[in-house]
Amino acid sequence: MVLTREQISSGINDLSGIVTHWRLWHLLAWRDIKQRYRRSTLGPLWLTISMAVNMVVIGVLFTTLFNSPYEKFLPFLSAGLIFWGLILGIINEGAGTFLGATNFIQQVRRPLSIYIAQTVWRNIIILGHNFIIYIIVAIIFGVFPSVISIWLWPAGMLLVILCSSWIALVVAVISVRYRDFPMILTNIFTALFWLTPIMYYPSLFGNKQYLLYFNPFTHFLALVRDPLLGQIPPLMSWIVVGGLTVVGWTFAIVLFSRFRSRIVYWL
């Protein structure tokens, strides 16, 4: 992949638009959520209700099947589902970011990166709604983070969002060129849902527990879920997610810089 200095400069300047145009992607994200629940009485609260119903059904089913104590499993499950929704939303919706913004991209000259920021911020807002569920569950069952773990949680969240964001940028570029890719990605994440310890403890794998750690999303969840449960995320998870963030953003910047000028013609 041969890059000119002008392409790299153009790509970096476009990405810097995330900072300079923050008001725009903030408003666009809120507009998306308002339009989704337009004329609805409860509005975005349906996001929370839907997640809560799903969580209760899965929680009752799994605690019954595996004889797991409610006070331990429900906080574990609720945190897992909520943060998986964030990761899945950023990446899956990221694939359709440029396709969904076709009219804006073709008619208005703006940094393309603001549409990625719009997708990421929209899912963070949704996380904020759904996080209410975890707070209620944690209070009911008396699960509170330790002094050390609560300070680690913001750093873990930042790493997970940054890492998910470069993946969203990469799949957005690929999806513009290859229109079947979003469907492929959806099927991949359907499989990953069951291969990631969202609804079951890693300890259920016994001496084969190490197999889970080949899945990067296991480390994603560890950074954002473990601190809330009063646990310290493994050092391996910090190294894996941190390394993926640095290497991934390097690759994403190169790919975006190389094909940025072609995106409008592929739409």
Residue 175 has pLDDT above 90, yes or no: yes
Give the amino acid at 9.
S
Q: Note whether 52 and 133 are within 8 A (CB).
A: yes
pLDDT of the residue at 39: 63
Whether 141 and 71 have beta carbons less than 8 Å apart is answered as: yes
In tens, the pLDDT along 119-167 reads: 999 999 989 888 988 998 899 888 888 888 889 999 999 999 999 999 9
Which two three-digit tokens encode residue 195?
A: 């291969």
Give the whole-angstrom CA distance, residue 80 versus residue 54.
12
CB 80 within 8 A of CB 221: yes
pLDDT digits (tens, 9 = 90+) for 68-94: 788 888 889 899 999 999 999 999 999
Which pLDDT belongs to residue 3?
76
Tell whether the model's pLDDT for residue 20 goes beyond 70: yes
Amino acid at 30: W
Q: Is 91 exposed, middle or buried (0-12, 13-18, 19+ CB in 10 A)?
A: buried
Tell me, what amino acid is at 165? S
What is the reported pLDDT for 149? 87
Q: Look at residue 86 in the predicted model and tell me its pLDDT.
A: 94
pLDDT band at 176 (very low <50, low <70, confident <90, very high): very high
Instruction: Note the pTM of the prediction, 2 decimals.
Output: 0.92
The pairs formed by 57-65 with CB atoms below 8 angstroms and a separation of 24 or more are 58/199, 62/199, 62/200
Give the pair of three-digit tokens for residue 132. Answer: 């209410």
Average pLDDT over residues 171-199: 92
- 220 with 87: CB under 8 angstroms? yes
For 84, counting Cβ atoms within 10 Å of its Cβ (0-12 exposed, 13-18 middle, 19+ buried), the class is buried
Q: pLDDT at position 124, please? A: 94
Residues 6+ apart with CB under 8 A from 265: none
HSE toward the beta carbon, residue 1, CA cutoff 13 A? 11
Instruction: Please name which of 169, 170, 171 lies closest in space to residue 181, comparing C-alpha atoms.
Output: 171
Determine the pLDDT at residue 209. 79
